[in-house]
Homo-oligomer: A and B are copies of this chain.
Amino acid sequence: MHNRLIQLNADYAAAIDDDRLEDWPGFFAADCLYRVTTRANYRRGLPAGLIYADSRDMLADRVLSLRKANVYEMQSYRHLVGVPRVLRADPQGGLKAATSFLVMRIDRQGGTDVFATGQYLDEIGADGDGLRFKVRDVVCDSSRIDTLLALPL
């Protein structure tokens, strides 16, 4: 299970970095929670400070919006993802895990900067043919958030 979780994270990151955004919702259960917030907000119990989606369909809508806005034309991303720490494994096969990430942004002029660091706080379950995220809370370390954060992390 652990190796499959490592692989899930690598595949998730590659879908975003390779601009295969349409594959991104498929990493989530149909009935899921995807939330992006800051560390400061998370500690105050505000896990949905920046982005909130509670279904795979909402994630697919978000991808459509991003395509319309051509946001991906202007930059690309590179995720570096750590090893997941399994915080809990329940008998039904569900997992809670925490995983560090660093995301770099590369703009069209070739400039490279740190887009975000933080950790994924995940609940993962077997779902049909593979593992899927039931909950993915993206907790960014920095409170200074780029307005482009609408992009998947």
Contacts and interface: CB of A to CB of B under 8 A. Distances in A.
A85 B10 contact: yes
Interface stretch (A51-59, A60-68, A110-118, A122-130): A110-118
A117 B110 contact: no
Contact of A82 (B81, B106, B113, B145): B81
Q: Give how many copies assemble into the complex.
A: 3
Given A10-B82, A10-B83, A82-B81, A141 B106 contact: yes
Specify the main secondary structure of chain A where it touches its partner. Answer: mixed
A14 interface: yes
Interface of A: 2-3, 6-7, 9-11, 13-14, 17, 39, 76, 78-85, 98, 100, 102, 104, 106, 109-114, 117-119, 141-145
